[in-house]
């Protein structure tokens, strides 16, 4: 019997990446879940990612340590306050320099090692915080780079970066997650968790999450401060 193909899924433990992992499974892929422990402020998401990977039946879940606090330059990896005044225009200080480039490179390395040719990432270019590495142009450029930079690519293989959420609103993503049976209460979004482990309710990510549930007309299971 022929096995389903493998796909590496970047799984942060958030709403978007969890939905993407469920989509990969629905499309017939066996999931290799990759979570990067970059010493982020909201490391609580790592625990959620572990439970989600187990819940979706991932073939393997790798939590890869990569301490980006050594570089800093972001409110998520440095001693910079997370903004709580609402989603503002421009690229916010929660942007982690080149994060998706780094994460996709790690996913590419695992995919080539495992014989996978498909990578899933939960980037979104519609209802998001303005990060430059969430745009379709970036994804196309990375695919082109992957073809040039790998043994598999040079030998005629083709890596596909799947971005099923890229044109969705946050409400669309919430609805899609509900359709797929995702445990929405298990997903984590907050950039600045409270000491007792709740979503702060005021950072950009919390605001977008709450807005998504409200516009989707679905009950928000999140515990906000």
User: What distance in Å separates the CA atoms of residue 207 and residue 155, rounded to the nearest whole number?
Assistant: 45
Query: CA separation (Å) from 179 to 26, 174, 223?
Result: 11, 9, 22
Residue 150 belongs to what domain range? Answer: 6-216
Q: Which of the four pLDDT bands, split at 50, 70 and 90, describes residue 89?
A: confident
- Does residue 225 sit within a domain? no
The pTM (predicted TM-score) of the whole model is: 0.95
Does 198 reside within a domain?
Answer: yes
Task: For residue 222, tell me if it sits in a domain.
Answer: no
Amino acid 131: pLDDT: 85
Q: What is the pLDDT of residues 49-79, one digit of tens each?
A: 999 999 999 999 999 999 999 999 999 999 9
Asked if the structure places residue 223 within a domain, the reply is no
Q: Residue written as tokens 């359709």?
A: 179
pLDDT digits (tens, 9 = 90+) for 6-54: 999 999 999 999 999 999 999 999 999 999 999 999 999 999 999 999 9
What are the angstrom distances between the C-alpha of 13 and each of 46, 79, 135, 167? 6, 23, 21, 20
C-alpha–C-alpha distance, residues 78 and 30, integer Å: 36
CATH of the domain at 148: 3.40.50.620
- Domain presence at residue 112: yes
Residue-wise pLDDT tens digits, 173-186: 999 999 999 999 99
Give the per-residue pLDDT at 83.
92
pLDDT tens digits, one per residue of 209-225: 999 999 999 999 999 99
CA dist 137 and 127 (Å) reads 17
| pLDDT recorded at residue 199 | 98
pLDDT tier at 128 (50, 70, 90 boundaries)? Answer: low
Q: What percent of the chain has pLDDT over 90?
A: 89
Checking if the pLDDT of 127 tops 80, the result is no
Task: With beta carbons less than 8 A apart as the criterion, state whether 36 and 106 touch.
Answer: yes
> Domains in the chain: how many in total?
1
For residue 37, tell me if it sits in a domain.
Answer: yes
| 176 occurs within a structural domain | yes
């Amino acid at each position: 019997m022929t096995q389903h193909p493998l796909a590496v899924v970047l799984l942060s433990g958030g709403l978007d990446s969890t939905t993407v992992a469920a989509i990969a499974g629905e499309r017939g892929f066996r999931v290799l879940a990759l979570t990067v422990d970059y010493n982020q402020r909201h490391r609580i998401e790592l625990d959620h990612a572990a439970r989600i990977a187990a819940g979706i039946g991932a073939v393997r879940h790798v939590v890869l340590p990569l301490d980006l606090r050594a570089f800093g330059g972001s409110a998520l990896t440095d001693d910079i306050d997370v903004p709580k005044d609402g989603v503002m225009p421009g690229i916010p200080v929660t942007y982690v320099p080149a994060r998706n480039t780094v994460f996709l490179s790690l996913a590419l390395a695992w995919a080539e090692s495992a014989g996978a040719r498909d990578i899933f990432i939960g980037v979104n270019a519609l209802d998001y915080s303005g990060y430059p590495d969430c745009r379709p142009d970036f994804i196309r450029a990375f695919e082109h780079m992957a073809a040039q930079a790998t043994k598999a690519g040079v030998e005629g293989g083709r890596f596909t970066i799947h971005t099923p959420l890229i044109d969705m609103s946050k409400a669309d993503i919430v609805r899609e997650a509900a359709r797929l049976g995702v445990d929405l209460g298990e997903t984590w979004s907050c950039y600045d968790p409270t000491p007792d482990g709740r979503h702060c309710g005021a950072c950009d990510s919390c605001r977008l999450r709450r807005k998504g549930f409200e516009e989707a007309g679905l009950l928000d299971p999140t515990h906000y401060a």
